[in-house]
Structures are given as C-alpha cells and as structure tokens.
Amino acid sequence: MATNPPANLALDGGDPRKLSLEVENGTNDAVGDEYTNNRGVSFEEYMYYAAITRAQEKEANARYKVARGPQTIKSVIKGRFSSGHIEQDVSTEVTASLSNVRDEKDRRNGEFQVTGVGGKGNGITEAQRQSANRALRTASWGTIFYLITTDILGPTGAPWAFAQLGYGPGVALYTVFGAMSYYSGWIIWNVFCGLDSDRFPCRGYGDFFNRIFGSWARHFINLAQALQLLLTVSVIILSNGQSISQISRGSSGESIGICFVACMIIFMAAGFVLGQIRTLQRLGWLANLSVWLNVALVILCMASVVYGPNYAAVEASFGLPSGMPIRTYAGTPPPGMATGGVGFVASLNGLNIAVYAYGGALLFAALLAEMRHPLDFWKSLLIAEMFIYGIYIFFGVFMYSYQGQYTYNPAVQGIAAYGMQTAGNILSLVSNLIAAVLYSNIGLKVVYIEVFHELLGFPELTTKKGKIWWAALIPLYWAVAFIIAAAVPQFSYIVGLVGALFILSFTYTFPAWLAIGYWVKKDAMIEDEERFDPTTGTYNYVDHGWKRWGRGFMRRPLFNAFNIFYFFGALVTCALGCYSSIESLRQAFQSGIATSLSCTPPL
C-alpha cells in the first residue's frame, strides 16, 4: 500500500464514505429513504434493485460511448488532469435534479428525504433521485486504473523485502500476493455490482458486510478500518520523522542533527494544521502527481546505487556492521546476511512487506461508487495490478542486486549520497503529508460517527457544533498517532505488523469472508419459486436456516470451498506475520539498537 495520497483524493466531490457513514442506520439505506428507515432491507431486495441499475448503466454507457467518440491514451491522461467534469454526461434535467436533492438535504439539516415506495414525497421523484445519483458517478475505467495505481503503488519497500527473502521466494511471494490481490478485487467488484443500486448505493467497505451479515459486521469493519488508518498515520509520522532527521544532518553526516523526537513533532504539527481541511477535492491534482513522484523516486534510487549502500543507516537501525562484501542470494539469506531477523522470522518480515505492497482494497468500494460504468472495473484492476507488479519486481531485484544485505527500508533513506537522498526525502515528505492528512480525515470520521456520535451522542459532523468538535479532535488524533510512532523502535517491523494485522485482512481475509457470504446467499435463491415484490418490499422465502445455506453452498461447492480455504489461509498468514513482527519488535526493544523516543535517530 502506497504511503501517498489514496485514490479517492483525486476524485472530485470529497470523501465518498461520508454519506454512508453519517446516514446509514443498520438498515443500510445510504440515502436515508423514509420508507426503508421504517423496515429492514433484505439481501434479495438489494440484489433486485442492483440488477435494474446495472441494466440501466449498460444502456447509458452505450449512449455515452457514442457521444464521446473514440478514446485514446492521450485523452485518458489529459482527462485525469482535468477538473473531472469532462467525463460527466449531465443534462439539464440531471443538473436540476442534483440541485433539488442538495436543496432538500440542506433544508433537512443534512439528511436526504426522497420519494420511495410507501414513502412520503417531498417534491423529489424517483427519476430525479436516480439522475442525481448518476450525476455524481463520473469516472471511466481508464480513470480508475490511474487511481488504483495512485492508491496501491508504493515500491520503496520492495528491495528490503527481497533482501529478507532472496530472489526466488521474493519473486514467488510478490507474484502470489499480486494474483490474490487481483482475486480479492474481483470479489469486491462482483459484490458491489450485485448489491449497489441507485436506490441503495454502496459508499464504503462496511456497506458490503452490513448487507450480507448485518449491522454488527459493519461496526466491526468500520472500527478495524479506523484503527488501521490510525496506525498508518503513525507509520507515516515515523517514516517522515526519519526523512526530516536525514535532511537536518546535512552533507557532513552529523550523528544527530535535529532531535529525532522533534523531527516527528514537526511532521505532526503540519498534520495539526492540514488536518483541519474537511473538503479535499481541491487537492485532487496532488493525487495525480503522486504516481509520478513514485516513478521519480524509483529512478532516483536506481541512479544512486553507484554511490553504494547507506551503511550508517543500516548499522544504526539493524546493527549490521559495514565492511562485509555485498552478497545476494537465490533463496533465504543465511544468519547475519539479512536485516529483518534470522531465518524464518526474516522471511516472514519480508512477507509482511510484500503483503503491505498490495494493500488498497479498502478503497475499492469508494472507487466503484465513483464509476460511471462499474462493470468495467475489472479492466482497471487488471492493468493496474500488472503495472504495479512489474515495478515491484524490477525495482526490488535491481536494488537488491546492487545493495545486497545492506538494502534499507524505505529505499530512499538507503541512498548514500546526501544530495540525492535529500531530494528523495523531500519528494516523500510532500506525498506522505497529503496521505497522512487524508488517512486521518477518514479515520477520525469513522471513529467520530461509530463512537462519539452513535454511542456518546455527539452532534453530527454537518452541524456547527460537530465542526467545532472536529477541529478539537484532529490534534488529539494526531497526538495519539505520534505517541504510537514514538513508542516503536524500528520502521520496518511496525510496517510489517500493520501490514499483517490490517492490510492483509482488508485485502485478503475480509474479501474471502465476503465471497463466502455473498455467493452462498445469492445461490440459495430459487428463481422460479421465490420473488421479490417491490410494492410491499417483501421476499417470499421457501425455507430458512441450514437447509437454505446448504443449497447455496452446493450450487458452487468447489468455488465456495476455495474461498473458505482462502479465508483460513489468509488468517494463518496474518497470524504468522503478526508473530514475526512482534518477535522482531521485542528483540529490538531488548537490544536497544534503535529507539524512536529519543534524540538519537533510528537510522
């Protein structure tokens, strides 16, 4: 997962999760329909309206292609750096509908009230609501390819992973996890297309679990998401504290420079200020820039190998003495020739970095929610995964071949030449600060709505008091992230722990869980005997319980069995990754090689 601006930052319209989190009340009516707020919405009803929406999107997409004309690579790139409205096929009627919905939202203090079956109308028809919802979905599959790449691509950890694994296991693991991350994205895409509709739009990752398993699953997923984002902000504070420390030491290579804790405080203070931003769409062009910043970093790191590894950083962080011949290995390096530990633990630490590299599925729901034609998402995902995989393999193998056991994580901080190192650190600081601001924005929003608003009765974020609480809680959020960052002694190990516990779960474990629930419930439906009645909002089930679940499972026994195997395999990998990271952190604490909560930098 890239420590750069996530993809949804580049989409006009702000954070697509906000509406779902603020309005959804357990029935999962993401637009607040009065009718559905008074009753539960069944899985089958979600599927009924989703099928209608997908059919309408196919027709609309065919008309759009005719009106747009042929699309070239130049038009895709040019469109991505435009304001975003170039792809929006908005008629006068759609614009008026969107205006009506927004006016109605403002009138009711941030809560949509629309005409639905059995609902009380407020002058907004079903057709107007549908048009307004379509008007907000503007991204093409070419745009989404760019955004997935922006979100996931973070190559600076790949060389260190190869240094722990060796060439063979490194290539194998990056290949396997790349293929599995595509499969997980394919699952999310299918679940989205099967459950999202104009009437009940999916806005976030937790929506899927709510519609399949219930509100308890949504709460669990949202809280896990909030904790992951908090730890991610901590990782970014620690990483960029190291960057500021390196810059402050100057070309003379002073041992300390600015006190390391002060370096992290500087970055945290910047987060205090920029974290007050609540509407992020004006920063969209920076997200477009982030891919090219990563490409520039890769080129910079590869050009720096002529100066040799940064021996001082490796010795300060890992205790590996300089002076040994640079060695590379086809398989797992022997003891003393890898900085991530010894043998099995070192390999697991490298595996954690490989897992972290493909993290991004957490945002796929938001990206799909912005697509004009979600059925094309598989194209975006496939091309993006192939592009990202190619960069990881090439960059990882290249840097490991030149730096061997002295490969550092992140690679930019392993540059020996101060001038090139400083340029790389500045590029990282710019992109990482924007990333941290967005992660804190989303993370605090989830915590506020799940805990402060729903459990403690705090005002909604759309109100004046809610905005005041937001301004007060942002510094607290960053302070907690700083304390976590200052308490850990080594960047690579804490990245591995976050990757194993959360990134792996959201990218592999949770999609497998979704697949099991979605296809079993979907295949349990009997087309000729069961039907949904849109007039009453009821579905005539022929049976319930184990008999129904068994029928759903046996429709695709091998596919469902594979998903169960995938789920438990991901759980085992999560456990092994947590073990290796925690064991390495324990050893680092005991050795006293590097401690973040001091003036001495851990590199």
**Tokens found for residue 262:** 């002060």
Looking at residue 14, its pLDDT comes to: 41
Q: Using pLDDT thresholds of 50, 70 and 90, give the confidence band for residue 415.
A: confident
Q: Which domain holds residue 459?
A: 7-88+138-249+259-277+307-515+567-591
State mean pLDDT over 353-370: 81
State mean pLDDT over 174-202: 92
Looking at residue 75, its pLDDT comes to: 61
CA distance 202 to 51: 14
Q: What is the CATH number of the domain that holds 462?
A: 1.20.1740
pLDDT in tens, 439-461: 777 777 777 777 787 777 888 87
Average per-residue pLDDT in the chain?
76
Report percent pLDDT > 70 for the chain. 74
Looking at residue 588, its pLDDT comes to: 67
Say which residue, 527 or 25, is predicted with more confidence.
Answer: 527
Domain count, the chain: 1
Looking at residue 525, its pLDDT comes to: 92
H/E stretch holding 29? none
**How far lies 305's CA from each of 138, 414, 426, in Å?**
43, 10, 19
CA distance 95 to 319: 62
Q: Using pLDDT thresholds of 50, 70 and 90, give the confidence band for residue 74.
A: low
CB atoms within 10 A of CB 491: 25
Residue 296 lies in a domain: no
Q: Using pLDDT thresholds of 50, 70 and 90, give the confidence band for residue 559.
A: very high
Looking at residue 16, its pLDDT comes to: 38
Residue 540 lies in a domain: no
Residue 97 lies in a domain: no
Cα dihedral 147, 152, 154, 160 in deg (nearest 10) = -160
Say which residue, 387 or 322, is predicted with more confidence.
Answer: 387
Instruction: Evaluate whether 423 touches 300 at the Cβ level (below 8 Å).
Output: yes
pLDDT at 587 exceeding the cut of 60: yes
Instruction: Evaluate whether 484 touches 241 at the Cβ level (below 8 Å).
Output: no
pLDDT in tens, 139-165: 778 778 877 887 788 888 899 889 888
**DSSP states of 332-388:** SPPTTS-TT-STHHHHHHHHHHHHHHT--GGGHHHHHHTBS-GGGHHHHHHHHHHHH
pLDDT at 38 exceeding the cut of 50: no
Looking at residue 596, its pLDDT comes to: 55
CB atoms within 10 A of CB 232: 25
pLDDT at 583 exceeding the cut of 60: yes
**How many Cα neighbours within 13 Å face the side chain of 69?**
3
Q: Which of 493, 470, 518, 509 is nearest to 362 (CA)?
A: 509
**How many Cα neighbours within 13 Å face the side chain of 572?**
6
pLDDT in tens, 513-532: 999 999 999 999 988 888 88
Residue 342 lies in a domain: yes
CA-atom Rg of the chain in angstroms: 25
Residue 111 lies in a domain: no
Place of tokens 């999310």: 188
Torsions phi, psi of 137, nearest 5? -105, 105
pLDDT in tens, 286-312: 556 777 787 888 899 999 988 888 888
Residue 169 lies in a domain: yes
Looking at residue 390, its pLDDT comes to: 93
Torsions phi, psi of 244, nearest 5? -65, -40
Looking at residue 212, its pLDDT comes to: 93
Torsions phi, psi of 415, nearest 5? -80, 130
Looking at residue 598, its pLDDT comes to: 66
Q: Using pLDDT thresholds of 50, 70 and 90, give the confidence band for residue 184.
A: very high
Torsions phi, psi of 361, nearest 5? -60, -20
Residue 32 lies in a domain: yes
Report percent pLDDT > 90 for the chain. 20
Q: What angle do CA 597, 600, 603 make, to 5 degrees?
A: 100
pLDDT at 429 exceeding the cut of 80: yes
Instruction: Evaluate whether 143 touches 76 at the Cβ level (below 8 Å).
Output: yes
**How far lies 362's CA from each of 206, 211, 378, 523, in Å?**
9, 17, 16, 26
Q: Using pLDDT thresholds of 50, 70 and 90, give the confidence band for residue 131.
A: low
Q: Using pLDDT thresholds of 50, 70 and 90, give the confidence band for residue 128.
A: low
Say which residue, 146 or 73, is predicted with more confidence.
Answer: 146
CA distance 17 to 369: 9
CA distance 443 to 440: 5
H/E stretch holding 533? strand 532-533
CB atoms within 10 A of CB 176: 11
State mean pLDDT over 16-29: 39
State mean pLDDT over 479-507: 78
Looking at residue 563, its pLDDT comes to: 96
**Tokens found for residue 420:** 């090139």
Residue 405 lies in a domain: yes
Model pTM? 0.76
